[in-house]
Amino acid sequence: MSLSERIKAAREKAKIDQGDLAKRLSIAAPTLSKYENGHRVPDADLLEKFVRIVGCDPGWLLTGIGSEPTGTGTGSLAEARAEYGNEFVYIPQVAGNISAGGGLVPDNTVELKIAFRKDWIERRGDPKNMSLIRVSGDSMEPTLQSGDLALVDHGRNYVDPQGGIYAISIDHTIMIKRIQVMHPAMRLKVISDNNKYESIETDPDLLRINGKVIWFGREIER
């Protein structure tokens, strides 16, 4: 179960309807609905209040590990974070989009943080050098779709010999493209997976590699 599914399950187990719980949380009912359908993620203070109201195991709410909700849980969110926090790494999602198209100026404001298992993500790089950026545009379809969250490892700011999908910067705008090394000239081919868009070749000095895309997430419904 996802965090949003656990929020909904805990509320239903406590037999509290959305409208009543929203009032007790001092938020709008549509906001609670977004938390339950995964369109938004509540902050720690709101989750702490939620735990007290519905009475669920905070460890289970945060991680899915522990006792499923009975409506009479004990403990605090802070205790759960202390117990389970070393198993997870929180990667910031920046507010700006990253274009799979003509390019957008990024906004590096942190919008929220998303948890990844520490053992999984550390096998792929240093989490301190990673961020999540939402994709905009259709030039990387069907691989990446508009609205997808791309996990970018900014420590990999070079093109691997076998190429890959990268966040690249041209004239201070960032976009996502597939990059291929052209041998023996050592030029770079910038490729859109959507065949409606033509590929281009460029000198490596004219293109900045912002990081390699190593994972992406997609909502089933938007």
Per residue in 180-200, pLDDT (tens digit) is 999 887 899 999 999 999 998
Sign of the CA dihedral running 138, 143, 144, 148: positive
Give the pLDDT score at 88.
78
Per residue in 1-38, pLDDT (tens digit) is 788 899 999 999 888 889 999 998 889 999 999 999 98
Given a contact cutoff of 8 angstroms between Cβ atoms, the answer to whether 156 and 211 are in contact is yes
The structural domains of the chain, ordered by start, are: 3-75 (1.10.260.40), 89-217 (2.10.109.10)
Structural tokens at position 41:
């993620």
